[in-house]
Amino acid sequence: MLPLLFSLGIVYLFALGAGRLSAAIGLPRVTGYLLVGVLAGPTPGDIGLPALISHDHLNQLAFLHDVILGLIVFTIGGSFSLGTLRQMGMKRFRISAVEIGMTGLLVGLGTAACGISPLAAGFLAIMAVTTAPAATQMVMREYQSEGPLSDTILPLIGINNLVAIIAFILLKENGLAPVPNFSSLAAQLSEPLVLGVFMGMAVAIMDQRFTRPVERQMLVLAAVAVTAGMADYLDNSAIFATLVAGMVAVNASPYEKRMLKDLTAIDYPLYVLFFIMAGATLHLDALGHMGLVGLGYVAMRLGGKYFGCRLGARMAGVSPIIRTWLGPAMLAQAGLAIGLAEELSRMWPDQGASVQTIILSSVVVFEVLGPLLTRVALVNAGEVTVFNLLAQRSPVGFGEGLHQVLGHFGRAVGISHTDGPVHSGEIRVRHIMRRNVEVISNRASFREVLKTLGHSRYDRLPVVNDWQELVGVIKYADIANTLFDPCLHHLVVADDIATDTHLKLNPEDTLETAMQALKDYPNDVYLLVVEKENPRQLAGVVRHNDLLSSHFRSHSAEREGRAVC
């Protein structure tokens, strides 16, 4: 067996190359990391090929896997902003209830019709509800997605997993035990809840005392490890407790998501290792044992997630974009479903092993499809800029990279180089704009305007008419006078307070043009983009952050190119 550190170093190098290769051909990097895990894991070793990651290696890394999963779940819990939930009302819960209900119903009835027992079908229905937070979150971070769909995905994943854990505990205690033990059931539900609340409050209190990001990073790592470890010691659900801890910590801390923002500076390499281990533990041989029930499970879960999200989104009255693309973004499945299936197999050897085989085989399918469909959903929803997609490709080839390294080293030792021309690619507004724009109808009441503006991440809203033509923009400053005059509330609609804006670009404008507009209007958080042929047709928005980031990256690349010549 190879030394563990040597194996980790090699697989990290392979993951680096596989991630870049995946990005170059339009796949999420997560897919490349999973593939590295599959090829480096025990599966090739089982057929006589050398394995970089053996079963013993995986056993040694099991504790690290649990910590990383805890970080992911803590972050998902942190996405439950109670303020945002209040502003949205019951929309997210309505979507989640319909999606969970339809997925569970279709999978339960479908697998039972394929010949499995009703109790086993019930466990499969519960496991079908789970969604893998890690793969989805990694894809969103990779492409820096932002918009209503992105804001909806993570809280729904958290609700899905929380409901699945509670439902599993209920069915396990009542379906497998000869006599229902209500005291054990109460302990299984209350102990992780109390533990999560306690740890979340402790983190929120300590968060106020720390001023350095590294201290807050250590705090979250410690809290996740203690929560998961204590839950395991008490024989409770570590995922349940950690999810609650993240939700309480973020909502109780006066600094809200500051700790999660600091965590992003160190967690990505850990997440890469998590997916390498996930790929190494995928049971490809289980695909051959999927059977009719397994095929039914995969088909019913696909249908339940897609049509459940679509119907739930329609009932909640959200935008058509979310209705269309929410389902494909909710398909990834991995750790939680595997964990529940493993626990069921231990407690119910008779049929639990069959359920575990179905879950292990289906996870192979959903871990491959899930990240890819999440990427497709985010891109088609207009929440990923073209520039972020293009940025996945390497800025230089190997030959050019070698030339730059030798040139830089030559300058360091005093060897001069001749100057040469450098050509930088021209960036257009269409490369950095976001197409999924939150708008409001010009006929919306004043109360609707306030509610939408309160939920929006910006301090202004584009106003459109029935033909989706741009009428104007509502800024918070424009409604301040109306806001404090209750007599006018029932008389005012969006059209009355919308103001025309001259701050417009078209998709073919250059980066320099957009930067000049930013200088002319420094107080505006984004620039409106309208179609060149029809200035009243809203095409998207360009955020200042995206604009400045693109400007910095393009000029940095140009300066580096000049330095090499």
What is the DSSP annotation of 426-489? PPBHHHH-B-----EETT-BHHHHHHHHHHSSSSEEEEE-TT-BEEEEEEHHHHHHHHT-GGGT
Query: How far, in Å, CA of 441 to CA of 463, rounded?
Result: 6
CA distance 525 to 527: 7
DSSP 328: G
Q: Rounded distance, CA 404 to CA 143, Å? A: 27
Helix (H, G, I), strand (E, B) or coil at 418: coil
C-alpha torsion sign, points 145, 253, 244, 316: negative
User: Minimal CA–CA distance to 330: which of 298, 369, 370?
Assistant: 370
Question: The tokens of 315 are what?
Answer: 């009932």
**Dihedral of alpha carbons 455, 162, 64, 47, sign:** negative
* Distance separating alpha carbons of residues 321 and 319, to the nearest angstrom: 5
Would you say the pTM of this structure is higher than 0.85? no
Residue 548: how many other CB atoms lie within 10 Å: 12
CA distance 166 to 152: 22
| pLDDT score for 222 | 93
Please name each of the domains of the chain with its CATH number.
1-60 (no CATH), 65-274+287-384 (1.20.1530.20), 429-551 (3.10.580.10)
Residue 547: which of 490, 509, 500 has the closest Cα?
A: 509
pLDDT in the model for residue 288: 72
So what's the pLDDT on residue 421?
41
Concatenate the DSSP letters of all residues of 339-355 into one string: HHHHHHHHH-HHHHHHH
Tokens 């019913």: give the residue.
Answer: 300
pLDDT, residue 418, reads 45
229's CB contacts (< 8 A; 6+ apart) are: none
Name the maximum alpha-carbon separation found in the chain: 85
Per-residue pLDDT of the chain in tens (565 residues, 90 and over written 9): 788 889 899 999 999 988 888 887 878 888 888 889 888 888 765 555 667 888 888 888 888 888 888 888 888 888 777 766 665 557 778 888 999 999 999 999 999 998 889 999 999 999 999 888 778 888 888 888 888 888 888 888 888 888 888 898 888 888 777 776 777 788 888 899 999 999 999 999 998 888 888 998 999 999 999 999 999 898 888 888 998 999 899 888 888 778 888 888 888 888 888 888 888 877 777 677 778 888 999 999 999 999 999 999 998 888 888 899 999 999 988 777 888 888 888 888 878 888 888 888 888 888 888 889 999 999 888 888 876 776 444 555 556 567 667 776 776 776 654 444 433 346 788 888 888 888 888 888 887 887 777 667 777 888 888 888 888 888 876 676 555 556 666 677 888 888 877 668 888 888 888 888 877 777 777 888 888 888 888 888 888 777 777 776 666 555 555 554 4
The answer to whether 536 and 469 are in contact (CB under 8 A) is yes
Q: For the chain, give percent helix, strand, coil, nearest 5.
A: 70, 5, 25
| CA–CA distances in Å: residue 206 to residues 247, 266, 267, 316 | 15, 20, 20, 38
Confidence (pLDDT) at 85: 62
Closest CA to 128 of 114, 108, 109, 112: 108
